[in-house]
């Protein structure tokens, strides 16, 4: 029998988890306030194994950050630059194709494309990027553009979000990454990303995408100025939308990296917090099939440990990543597939190479 050090986990949460009862807002706050990390991991692991058994997913993917020029200039972002600023860059479609080609070992199954809100790129640039990539790599799933980028693209195209998504899908878009959610509470957004679309709009765009059959991920940027209540509120809003649409594939907590940002007075997150956020997310998001640890942000060592704290997905090969590395990440940008497999096996789990939609890739 597991020995909890926090009686609340033993007396209240364990029963709810065993009986598959939904956890409340207050439960979520208590979970975040608990210091019984092993107890949280034990409970999150029950949910993880119920949903995914021993299976642990990874993907052979290639991230592409096509431009760092962005008109939003979020305070937590070290990646974005203004046009003309030193180190600002914008890739042509030809350069994007070359980047994609540079990691085309015949087995890559996903391009993951996220960038800034470039003030001058026309809608045709994005359609062209998708069309050319799809033409050259017809079997590769394109997961591109956060809801924040989708709002911007609809804006520059003079289209509704729905129309823009339809055109992007026709050009080759397959699914949306989960970025841009940050923390949904408007008071927090006002402090960390006042120019960004609201959390409400982010949720609406996801709802529209899901309604069109376009799946997406969801994220939460944690470890900056947000409160425990902000985190729990964020998770519950995601859970409510998932009840409605069922369109979220995975939830990925993103550990805030402060270096070179407007919030550089904040410390890097700790291993304790990273594991706690993953475990609490697994417990609160009872309707999300997958919880993913993004090893780029928390490092392969914590990502491996997280497999006992509710996580069933360790992301992928990545190859190149600029957003977190601009903000002080000291991880590699590429990890070999065999290394992911041995990290998973060493944790006593069963590795499964997946495609974006969680089908096993042989
Ligand atoms: O929205 C920006 C985050 C996101 C920082 O769907 C930062 O599988 C930490 O969308 N420290 C974009 N995070 C990345 C993204 C993503 C990443 C991994 C997996 C998936 C997925 C999607 O990056 C932004 C923002 O939340 N971000 N700056 C920073 N300093
Ligand atoms: Fe731009 Fe995204 Fe960075 Fe915000 S997080 S400044 S929207 S690139």
Average pLDDT (135-140) is 95
Answer yes or no: is the C-beta of 30 below 6 A from any ligand 1 atom: no
Measured CA to CA in angstroms, residue 132 lies from 95, 147, 169, 208 at distances of: 11, 22, 13, 25
User: Percent of the chain scored above 90 by pLDDT?
Assistant: 92
Q: Which residue has the higher pLDDT, 209 or 333?
A: 209
User: Average pLDDT, whole number, for the chain?
Assistant: 96
Answer yes or no: is the C-beta of 176 below 6 A from any ligand 1 atom: no
CA distance 188 to 184: 8
Q: What pLDDT, on the 0 to 100 scale, is given for residue 177?
A: 98
CA distance 47 to 42: 9
DSSP 336-352: -HHHHHHHHHHTT-EEE
Flag whether pLDDT at 106 surpasses 80: no
Torsion angles phi and psi, residue 249, rounded to 5: -90, -50
Q: What pLDDT, on the 0 to 100 scale, is given for residue 293?
A: 97
Tell me how far the alpha carbon of residue 71 lies from the centroid of ligand 2, in angstroms.
Answer: 8
Domains delineated in the chain: 7-13+22-354 (3.20.20.70)
Torsion angles phi and psi, residue 254, rounded to 5: -110, 120
Nearest CA owner, ligand 1 atom 2:
77
Summarize pLDDT for 159-193 with one digit per residue, the tens.
999 999 999 999 999 999 999 999 999 999 999 99
pTM (global) more than 0.85: yes
Atom of ligand 1 nearest to the CA of 179: 10
CA distance 78 to 288: 30
Among 221, 262, 263, 281, the mutation site with the greatest number of ligand 1 atoms within 8 A of its Cβ is: 221
Answer yes or no: is the C-beta of 116 below 6 A from any ligand 1 atom: no
Q: Are 4 and 36 in contact (CB under 8 A)?
A: yes
Nearest CA owner, ligand 1 atom 28:
77
Among 262, 323, 331, 358, the mutation site with the greatest number of ligand 1 atoms within 8 A of its Cβ is: 323
**CA 56, chain centre distance (Å):** 17
Summarize pLDDT for 44-88 with one digit per residue, the tens.
999 999 999 999 999 999 999 999 999 999 999 999 999 999 999
User: Looking at the CA of 145, which ligand is closest?
Assistant: 1
Summarize pLDDT for 214-241 with one digit per residue, the tens.
999 999 999 999 999 999 999 999 999 9
CA distance 150 to 210: 13
Flag whether pLDDT at 251 surpasses 90: yes
């Amino acid at each position: 029998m597991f020995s909890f050090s926090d009686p609340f986990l033993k007396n209240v949460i364990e029963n709810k988890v065993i009986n598959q009862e939904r956890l409340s807002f207050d439960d979520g706050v208590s979970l975040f306030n608990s210091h019984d990390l092993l107890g949280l991991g034990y409970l999150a692991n029950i949910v993880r194994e119920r949903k995914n058994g021993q299976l642990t997913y990874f993907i052979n993917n290639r991230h592409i950050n096509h431009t760092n020029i962005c008109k939003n200039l979020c305070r937590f972002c070290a990646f974005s630059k203004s046009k003309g600023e030193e180190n600002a860059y914008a890739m042509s479609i030809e350069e994007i194709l070359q980047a994609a080609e540079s990691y085309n070992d015949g087995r890559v199954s996903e391009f993951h494309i996220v960038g800034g809100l470039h003030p001058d790129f026309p809608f045709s640039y994005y359609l062209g990027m998708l069309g050319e990539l799809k033409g050259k790599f017809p079997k590769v799933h394109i997961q591109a553009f956060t809801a924040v980028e989708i709002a911007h693209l609809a804006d520059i195209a003079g289209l509704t979000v729905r129309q823009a998504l339809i055109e992007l899908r026709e050009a080759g878009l397959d699914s949306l990454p989960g970025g841009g959610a940050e923390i949904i509470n408007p008071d927090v957004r006002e402090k960390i990303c006042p120019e960004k679309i609201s959390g409400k709009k982010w949720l609406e765009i996801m709802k529209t995408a899901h309604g069109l059959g376009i799946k997406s991920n969801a994220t939460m940027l944690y470890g900056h100025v947000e409160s425990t209540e902000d985190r729990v509120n964020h998770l519950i809003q995601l859970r409510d939308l998932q009840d409605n649409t069922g369109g979220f594939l995975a939830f990925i907590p993103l550990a805030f990296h402060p270096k070179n940002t407007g919030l550089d007075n904040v410390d890097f997150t700790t291993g304790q917090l990273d594991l706690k956020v993953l475990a609490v997310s697994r417990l609160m998001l009872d309707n999300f099939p997958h919880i993913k640890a993004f090893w780029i942000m928390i490092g392969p060592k914590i990502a491996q440990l997280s497999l006992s704290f509710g996580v069933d997905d360790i992301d992928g090969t990545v190859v190149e990543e600029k957003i977190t590395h601009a903000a002080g990440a000291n991880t590699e940008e590429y990890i070999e597939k065999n290394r992911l497999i041995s990290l998973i096996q060493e944790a006593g789990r069963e590795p499964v190479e997946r495609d974006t939609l969680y089908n096993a890739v042989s």
